[in-house]
Amino acid sequence: MRKALVVANLLGAAVFAMFALFQINDDDPLVYESPSSVDLVLWTAFYALIAVVCLIGAFRRAPIGLLTLAATACLFQMGMTARGLIENVTTREHFTLTGSQMNPGNPEVEKSREFFGALIAMAAVCAVAFQRRSWSPADSNPRAPSGRQ
């Protein structure tokens, strides 16, 4: 069971690191409405934070403070993009998340995708938080005696 969790967390870390790298193109004015370097940095840092949470969760008990920060960041990003998701669902003829529909005239498509990205990140943070119970207190403190030789 422990090996499966390690593999899942390492996979999560790789996926979220990849998501962070994908943010590099988020300042293209042909695709995004009012592209912002600040927005690009925030999303890159957000996904990098989630990657770090997964990476830590693979090898030790993730600190509550880090999990709280990550969950707060997820809620913040979801809150910032929820309006676009609602617009995508209620005002468009057909709900879409496809890249072919992404352009400055359809900002709700990108906001919907960002919302679901933050929702997936929240699921990862919750999974790492749930795994805390499977770690012994000694696993979180490398200086604590473990009794293992």
pLDDT score recorded for residue 148? 45
pTM above 0.85, yes or no: no
pLDDT score recorded for residue 149? 39
As given in the structure block, the two tokens for residue 55 are 């990476």
How high does pLDDT run on average in the chain? 82
Q: Is residue 15 a contact partner of residue 127, using CB atoms and an 8 Å limit?
A: no
Burial 89-120 (b: 16+ CB within 10 A, else e): eeeeeeebeeeeebeeebbbbbbbbbbebbeb
pLDDT in tens, 97-149: 655 555 556 677 778 888 999 999 999 999 999 998 877 655 555 555 544 43
